Amino acid sequence: MIVGIDLGTTNSLIAYYSEEGPKIIPNRLGKNLTPSVVSVDEEGNVYVGETARERMSLYPDSVAQTFKRSMGTERDYILSGKHFKPEELSSLVLRALKEDAEAFLGEEVTEAVISVPAYFDDKRRKATKRAGELAGLKVERMISEPTAAAVAYGLYDKTQDTRFLVFDLGGGTFDVSILELYHNILEVRAVAGDNYLGGEDFTEVMAKLFLQKQKIQLQSLSEKEQVRLYRQAEKAKREISDKAQVTMSFLQGEEQIEAQITYKEYEEACEELLQKIREPVKKSLADAGLKLNDIDEVLLIGGATRLSLVRDFLIRLFRKFPDTKMNPDETVALGAAVQAAMKERREEVKEVILTDVCSFTLGTEVSVEYEEGLFETGRFCPIIERNTVIPASHTERLYTAHDNQKKVRVRVLQGESRFARNNLYLGELEIDVPKGPKGQESVDVTYTYDINSLLEVEVTVVSTGLKQKMIIKGEENQMTDEEIKKRMEELAYLKIQPRDYEENRLVLTRAERLYEEALGDRRKKLDHYITAFETALKKGDHNEIADARKALNEVLEEDEDW
């Protein structure tokens, strides 16, 4: 069984293709969204999703979130004294999704199509693939999130040619993609975005606005208080979409602090973020050679597009109402499931050719002669430019820069800067050339880039025909099969909580958090119901446990409107 996975910054989802079409698979708690949060306790127990998020308030040193933003980097997360890379934390989320899918489908899940932001570079895509492998999944295909959304909307099944812009604002990343449909070909024309912009930033603005009104310094708050603050800011951010103002409250020490925040105040505070949204839109249109009025449809995906603040801004920007008929949280996962069905050659799925583009320019380092006899080194020479439709193959002829030069070194780089040092290094190769005066010998450098983000580099010496070839897989950060197997064994000691235990653990963790935030009679009431639930758990009677859990949940709902 091949499934489709949306591995998100804030939430992750898994889907499959059924007889009725693509469907989201509910997690062990019966919900479609699994928060991309991981917690590890001192005994090596792993909590993924809602329970891990609840533990943030109680044990902040044991919890990690928004690690998708660090994919492809060497950032080190320490949870209860144990070290994890971003892709290893992502693999724990994927493993939980895989287990949920196997329990729901009643069969083993061995392969997945995983979505990635269109603006993810080579390192981030490779890290995502490694996360899947560490979770025990074969990941032969990754699909960009906007393309997956377009597939989910069924745009590939339209009867007329359409140009559309996919606006994808998730929890931590932002993509703009322009796609064009003609016949059965869905072609990405241009992509742009920001890997460090998302709904989390709008939450942070709300938190800062609250602190500013109360004249509180963030550094003066404990870790637990900061977690509580951001939780309340997230709640206020959602509520203000439907109101002219909200009351945000926050427990600092033993004092409950409140502040009124109006929609206008929040909108003004978010102005800088809204301007950051505008630039990638302009860039993608320019790269595609289009104007706003050339776009037939605008599609919104990503949970942050639910904010009325964002939607109002987009209506003004695009001068039209975006298409919002699908759940923005689920669209990408559903599209990935359709792509998985295409990969399985399912008869009920109409085959469609999906073309993608190279998100960043690929090139090499060269020396440039700016005056006769004077060279500037370290310049970037583009070979495959950004937003080139892939698969693509381009050749650039380069010449020796020094007399009696014996070798030519080709450094493979990815990025947009004129200077090589500012771009991402992917690898390099060297080739021998005959000695002679500078500029006499030349090499043809050919880059071939495919849909799975594999780059083949071939260098040919023009005078001798000597060739050197390599496949760039991000070797400096690429795990071998043996290394992956070894790390999977190392991570095996981590025990993801059993499905039948998760619901009880979540209720207790949530109750403990609210108890810490409560005062007086409210705290006494919570203590009574928590104790009753813990007593039922010790007895082990399923009916008694269910009744006590229901009673505790009702008290928690009184305390907190979810």
Q: Is 325 a catalytic residue?
A: no
Give 74: exposed, middle or buried? Use CB within 10 Å, 0-12, 13-18, 19+. exposed
Strands of 433-550 (E only): list them: 442-449, 455-461, 467-472, 495-496
Q: Is 486 a catalytic residue?
A: no
Alpha helices (H) along 106-198: 122-134, 145-152
Q: Are 128 and 90 in contact (CB under 8 A)?
A: yes
User: How many other CB atoms sit within 10 Å of the CB of residue 3?
Assistant: 25
CA–CA separation, 298 and 277 (whole Å): 15
Q: Is 68 a catalytic residue?
A: yes
User: How many other CB atoms sit within 10 Å of the CB of residue 83?
Assistant: 9
What φ, ψ does residue 477 adopt, rounded to 5°?
-135, 25
Which residues have C-beta within 8 Å of that of residue 21, sequence separation ≥ 6? none
50, 68, 88, 503: the catalytic one is: 68
CA–CA separation, 305 and 166 (whole Å): 11
Q: Are 351 and 338 in contact (CB under 8 A)?
A: no
Structure-token pair, residue 392? 């693509």
Amino acid at the residue 357: V
Structure-token pair, residue 85? 């890379």
User: Which helix H or strand E contains 365, and what residues bound it?
Assistant: strand 362-371
DSSP 417: -
Angle at 323 between CA 320 and CA 325, to 5 degrees: 150
CA–CA separation, 84 and 69 (whole Å): 15
6, 175, 194, 297: the catalytic one is: 6
Structure-token pair, residue 497? 């909580």
100, 145, 194, 329: the catalytic one is: 145
Q: Is 547 a catalytic residue?
A: no
CA–CA separation, 526 and 529 (whole Å): 5
CA–CA separation, 79 and 81 (whole Å): 5
Give 498: exposed, middle or buried? Use CB within 10 Å, 0-12, 13-18, 19+. exposed
What φ, ψ does residue 559 adopt, rounded to 5°?
-80, -30
Q: Are 64 and 84 in contact (CB under 8 A)?
A: yes
CA–CA separation, 160 and 171 (whole Å): 33
CA–CA separation, 194 and 121 (whole Å): 11
88, 99, 121, 168: the catalytic one is: 168
Tell which phi-psi region holds residue 135, choosing left (phi > 0), alpha (psi between -120 and 50) or beta: alpha
Please identify which residue in the block is written with the tokens 């059993």. 498
For helices 223-239 and 199-214, the axis angle rounded to 10 degrees is 110
Largest CA distance in the chain: 90
**Which of 35, 28, 88 is closest to 505 using CA atoms?**
28
Half-sphere exposure of 485 (CA within 13 A, CB side): 3
CA–CA separation, 268 and 212 (whole Å): 14
For the annotated catalytic residues, the residue numbers are 6, 68, 145, 168
